[in-house]
Structure formats: C-alpha cells, structure tokens
C-alpha cells in the first residue's frame, strides 16, 4: 500500500551493520548472536533490518507468531525464536518453521499435543527459566516435570535454555544480576545432570553483553544496542544512530496576545507570536506529555518548543524567532542524544519513543 505521509523515519542500514560489528567485537569468536527484531524492529522496519544482517547472525527473535510469519513471507530463512507464543497460534508457528519459547506447563502441554497430532520429528523448541524477572519462565523446581515430559520425546528437540536479566543496565542492581546468573548456572547444571546434555545457553541482553561477560554463554540477544543505544551515554557514544524522524510545517499562524492554541486552550499567548503546525501527532508516537513546552523540535537548526496539547495528527510549535515557511523540514530527532532527550522530557525511555513510532509514517531506507 502506498504511503504518502509527509513525515518520514529514515533508517540507516549502514549504522545497523556498524553496531552489529561493534557488539561482535566484544564477544568471543564462538559466541553466537541473536538479534531481536520484535515490535517492527524496535519501531523501525523489521524486514529491512533482518534482510540487511541475516547472513551475519545465528538467530532472530520476535515477540509474537505473526511477526515471525511476516519475516518468513519476506524471505527471511534464518532461525526465528518466538519469545511469547500463544496457544491458538501454534499451528501457524509450526507451518512457518518458527521456534517457540516454551515457558510454562500450559504452553508445554499444548505444544506436545500438537507435535503429536502433526507427527513432528525433532521440532526445535527453547525452554525459558525464570531467575528473577518474574515475567515468563519455568522454575528450577519444574525440571522433574520437564524431564518426564521431554526426555526421549522424538517429536521435539531442545535447542536452547535461556533466561532474562532484570536490571542488567543498573549498576546499583549488580548483586541481583549476579545472583540471577548464579541461579541460571545452577539450573543448567541440574538440566545437564538430568538430561545428559546441554543445548545452547543464552541470558544476556544488550546491557548484559556490555556489563556481564560471564553471562555471554553460547549466545547473546542483541536488542536496543543494534538500534544505537548502549546502557549509558559512554556506550551509546560507541554506536551509530540508526533512525531519524522528520516532518514538515503545514501552516503558519500569527497569534495575537491573549489568543489560545490547540485543544482545551492549553496554551495562551502572553504576547504577539508566530506558530507553526507540524504534520505529526500522538497517533504517530509523539506523546502528549511532550506538549506545553515540555518537548521541542528543530526547524532550520533552531529550537522550536511544542506549545499546547499534542493533537492526534499534528502539533504546534513556537517559531516566533525562526525564519521559516510552510513546507520547511522539521527535525523531531536525528541522533541518540536528541531521541533520549525526548524520552526524558516525556518521563519515558528510548524503547518507548522508538516503538511508539506509527506504522503510517513513511520509512526511508539508507542502504
């Protein structure tokens, strides 16, 4: 479908490759990389990202089955781990040769039933263990159940055991992270004792790659780092910016003293001023929290504060001191620093700013 939205998200695949190579340089030669491309590739373009690097990584991961199906339809043949498969989608998952994360008894029994019904042979699955995040995963006490259900079951093949660090970016939580790693080691040792082998082990997300080399194991999961963000400003400075968001001015207004701007008359002019209406709003991912001068954009390299409430499809900015006209480009963010600043102003995080970028915004790929 043609997309003629004048707001564009520029995606630099050269920066993606640079960031991947940087993280590779921090790993041992035999450590595999799984790249996370869920949520449209953290708000960018999962298909373009995957096509760009599929020959350089061991695995991709998505959150839900349909995300994996979309990659398969686009010709991505690399192994794809579905991190949060749902029971109604297991048949589609198998049909598209996606690999499920088995994280509780219910999804385990459902997958074993469908694997028997379809007479599968050594179908790849992954087992997730909870070591402290308390979101998804079996506990160490479930090992006996897993052994009973899975040992010598030729319908499935256990490809990996994994867990997830809860606070790998937070130096104040280092002791907690180390306890998680210790617990994972204990679980995997018990697994080996019971099953007689160890599949691939993985635990480290982006910050885990940076801060916990003892958690690299056989494979690491690279998420936000691929898109240009480390766990602190020093690490982020080693990476390249991947996405830039730009829009345009659609109309200028001369506002008299006492006149209001936008919904609920949230802004009133204390003096004569000039405003610009910009073709981007909260339906495109610009949080309402950025209104009322909390956030700002750049026009002709000058700061233009957002005034009033952010609308669904538009926002208004103060351009009283900026020489500009309708059609001029508006920079929402063009660097890690400017994106992080938006997140701070919105009392949010870079993950949320990125993944909130609407799919109706046109993607422009730099190859």
Residues 6+ apart with CB under 8 A from 59: 32, 33, 34, 35, 78, 79, 80, 81, 219
Residues 284/313, Cβ–Cβ less than 8 Å: yes
Rounded Cα–Cα distance for residues 44 and 243 (Å):
7
Contact 224, 18 (CB under 8 A): no
| Partners of residue 201 on adjacent β-strands | 161
* Residue 29 CA neighbour count, 13 Å, CB half: 0
Annotated catalytic residue 51 = no
Rounded CA-CA distance 60/98 in Å is 10
217 — alpha (psi -120 to 50), left (phi > 0) or beta? left
* H or E stretch covering 195: helix 174-195
Burial of 121 (0-12, 13-18, 19+ CB in 10 A): exposed
- In Å, how far are 30, 132, 177, 178, 233 from 170, measured between CA atoms? 27, 15, 9, 12, 13
Cβ–Cβ < 8 Å for 138, 116: no
- Residue 38 annotated to the active site: yes
Token pair in block for residue 36: 């996370």
Catalytically annotated residue among 22, 64, 263, 351? 263
Closest to 190 measured CA to CA, from 226, 133, 138: 138
Give the DSSP letter string of 260-277.
Answer: EESGGG-EE-SS-EEEEE
**Nearest CA-CA partner of 124 in 165, 94, 147:** 94
From 38, 128, 155, 298, the catalytic residue:
38
Backbone angles phi, psi at 146, to 5 degrees: -60, -40
- 3-class secondary structure, 149: helix
Residues acting as catalytic residues: 38, 263
């Amino acid at each position: 479908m043609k997309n003629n939205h004048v707001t564009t998200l520029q995606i630099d695949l050269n920066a993606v490759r640079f960031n991947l190579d940087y993280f590779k340089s921090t790993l041992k030669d035999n450590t595999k990389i799984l790249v996370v491309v869920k949520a449209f590739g953290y708000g960018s373009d999962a298909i373009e990202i995957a096509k760009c690097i599929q020959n350089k990584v061991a695995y991709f991961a998505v959150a839900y089955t349909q995300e994996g199906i979309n990659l398969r339809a686009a010709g991505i043949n690399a192994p794809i781990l579905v991190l949060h498969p749902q029971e109604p989608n297991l048949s589609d998952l198998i049909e598209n040769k996606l690999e499920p994360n088995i994280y509780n008894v219910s999804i385990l029994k459902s997958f074993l039933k469908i694997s028997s019904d379809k007479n599968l042979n050594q179908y790849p699955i992954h087992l997730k263990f909870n070591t402290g995040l308390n979101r998804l995963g079996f506990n160490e006490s479930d090992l006996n159940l897993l052994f009973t259900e899975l040992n010598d079951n030729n319908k499935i093949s256990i490809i990996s055991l994994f867990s997830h660090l809860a606070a790998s970016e937070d130096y104040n939580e280092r002791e907690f992270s180390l306890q998680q790693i210790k617990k994972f080691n204990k679980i995997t040792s018990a697994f080996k004792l019971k099953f007689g082998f160890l599949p691939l082990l993985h635990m480290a997300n982006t910050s885990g790659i940076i801060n916990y080399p003892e958690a690299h194991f056989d494979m690491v999961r690279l998420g936000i780092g691929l898109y240009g963000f480390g766990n602190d400003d020093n690490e982020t400075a080693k990476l390249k910016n991947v996405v830039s968001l730009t829009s345009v001015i659609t109309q200028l207004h001369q506002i008299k003293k006492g006149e209001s701007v936008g919904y609920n008359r949230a802004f009133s002019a204390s003096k004569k001023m000039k405003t610009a209406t910009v073709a981007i709003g909260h339906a495109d991912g610009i949080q309402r929290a950025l209104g009322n001068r909390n956030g700002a954009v750049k026009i002709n390299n000058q700061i233009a504060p957002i005034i009033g409430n952010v609308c669904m499809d538009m926002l208004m900015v103060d351009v009283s001191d900026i020489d500009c006209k309708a059609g001029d480009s508006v920079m929402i963010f063009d660097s890690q620093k400017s994106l992080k600043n938006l997140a701070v102003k919105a009392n949010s995080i870079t993950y949320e700013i990125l993944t909130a970028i609407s799919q109706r915004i046109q993607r422009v790929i730099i190859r």
